[in-house]
């Protein structure tokens, strides 16, 4: 029997909001290490400012209402209640699009880009390019989490969302787009569920991070190897702790909203195209809404699980397998890693669009919603035709 979805509306209890404010008021801050701000992690002044705004200026109910303005549902699938936005397209023949977030993100990342995909005419585009967007909270994240539920790695996430799109919602074939774990999930779908997809569009490539793959590098490949060397040395501490001792880290981040905010803020600053000022490209209240969703749902521990699964299991694209569905890639200049096309082509055998983007980083749907939406529309336009 196919599980039946039911409508969903987010409403955090007043008592939970009051408890959050009380905890924020009692925050015990560390001192600041000597040297440049941000050199050793989240800067003290920046975290103080964010915590003060979270307590005194942030309006959760306003952000909650923005999310609830989109149709939402939940369905019991693969042993959990899977939450998703399901926003019909406005056009003659909307294409179903699975939109996938990552860590430390949530469906709040997509509030600006969804209308640009579902109603392109409103933003000067062609209504023939419209999508019906399905944006799930990934299993273990946000509104797809309850304490004690089973854990999901990328492989299980891909199977779950494929089941949602194909069997529950009845889309024979669909498009998929994602960054971070969403990019990995879309790539996994392309490798193991190709018959369900018209194509995938990603802004983070699921390419193994192994310098030995390029023994005689070209100049572009050498650039990537230097980038990879720095990333592995300086930027992977969070991966190691989340991928080896997630339970221990979760105590502090589940108990301290300031600790949670610092842990996530540092990534929004480091991974966005912001020249050191995240609020120059990101809306502070939208980032706080994302952090608050982690807080109110208590999902941070489960959200770490894809890291643990990856470190203790095979690469999500199995050895000997490739992604053979049509693939598009938006190469944002401040993405955490930017493998060259020569390396990506070993995993993705049908790259049909590879676009260097002018601006933007890891959180492309928040930083550059117009540019990303335009890329997604242009990539999938020819694939909408039967037999493309």
Residue among 145, 140, 92 nearest 119 (CA)? 92
Residue 136 forms part of a structural domain = yes
Q: Residue 93 contacts by C-beta under 8 Å, 6 or more apart in sequence?
A: 128, 384
CATH number for 72: 3.40.50.1820
Whole-number pLDDT of residue 85 = 98
- Residue pLDDT, tens place only, 187-221: 999 999 999 999 999 999 999 998 988 999 999 99
What is the structure's pLDDT at 320?
Answer: 87
pLDDT for residue 388: 47
What pLDDT is attached to residue 143?
A: 98
Tell me what pLDDT residue 386 has.
Answer: 57
Q: How many CB atoms lie within 10 A of CB 18?
A: 10
Q: Is 18 inside a domain boundary? A: yes
Q: How many domains does the chain have?
A: 1
Residues of the chain scoring pLDDT < 50: 387-388
CA distances from 212 to 133, 215, 231 (A): 39, 6, 16
For strand 6-7 and strand 72-77, is the pairing parallel, antiparallel, or unpaired? antiparallel
The distance of Cα 321 from the centroid of its chain, to the nearest Å, equals 24
| pLDDT of the residue at 365 | 98
Q: Are 56 and 145 in contact (CB under 8 A)?
A: no
Would you state the pLDDT for residue 319? 86
pTM for this one?
A: 0.97
Query: Which pLDDT tens digit goes with each residue over 284-293?
Result: 999 999 999 9
For residue 274, what are its two tokens? 């912001």
Would 245 be classed as within a structural domain?
yes
Active site residues: 180, 308, 362
| 99: containing domain | 6-384
1 lies in some domain:
no
């Amino acid at each position: 029997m196919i599980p039946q979805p039911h409508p969903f509306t987010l409403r955090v209890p007043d008592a939970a909001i009051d408890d959050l404010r009380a905890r924020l008021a009692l925050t015990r801050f560390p001192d600041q290490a000597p040297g440049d701000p941000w050199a050793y992690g989240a800067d003290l002044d920046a975290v103080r400012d964010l915590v003060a705004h979270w307590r005194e200026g942030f309006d959760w109910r306003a952000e909650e209402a923005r999310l609830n303005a989109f149709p939402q549902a939940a369905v019991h699938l693969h042993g959990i209640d899977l939450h998703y936005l399901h926003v019909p397209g406005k056009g003659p023949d909307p294409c179903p699009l699975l939109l996938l977030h990552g860590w430390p993100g949530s469906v709040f990342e997509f509030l600006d880009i969804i209308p640009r995909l579902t109603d392109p005419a409103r933003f000067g585009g062609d209504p023939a390019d419209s999508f019906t967007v399905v944006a799930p909270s990934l299993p273990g994240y946000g509104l797809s989490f309850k304490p004690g539920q089973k854990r999901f790695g990328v492989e299980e996430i891909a199977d779950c969302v494929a089941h949602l799109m194909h069997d529950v919602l009845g889309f024979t074939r669909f498009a998929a787009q994602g960054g971070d774990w969403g990019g990995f999930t879309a790539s996994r779908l392309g490798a193991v569920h190709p018959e369900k997809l018209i194509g995938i569009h990603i802004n983070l490539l699921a390419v193994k991070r192994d310098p030995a793959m390029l023994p005689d590098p070209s100049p572009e490949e050498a650039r990537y190897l230097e980038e990879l060397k720095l990333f592995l040395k300086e930027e992977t501490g969070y991966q190691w702790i989340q991928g080896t001792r997630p339970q221990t880290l979760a105590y502090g981040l589940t108990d301290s909203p300031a600790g949670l905010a610092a842990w996530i803020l540092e990534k929004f600053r480091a991974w966005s195209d912001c020249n050191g000022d995240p609020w120059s490209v990101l809306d502070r209240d939208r980032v706080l809404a994302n952090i608050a969703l982690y807080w109110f749902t208590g999902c941070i521990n489960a959200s770490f699980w894809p890291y643990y699964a990856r470190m203790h299991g095979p690469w999500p694209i199995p050895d000997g397998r490739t992604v053979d569905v049509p693939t598009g890639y938006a190469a944002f200049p401040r993405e955490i890693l930017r493998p060259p096309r020569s390396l990506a082509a070993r995993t993705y055998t049908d790259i049909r669009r590879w676009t260097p983007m002018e601006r933007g980083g890891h959180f492309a749907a928040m930083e550059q919603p117009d540019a990303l939406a335009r890329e997604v529309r242009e990539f999938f336009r020819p694939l909408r035709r039967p037999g493309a």
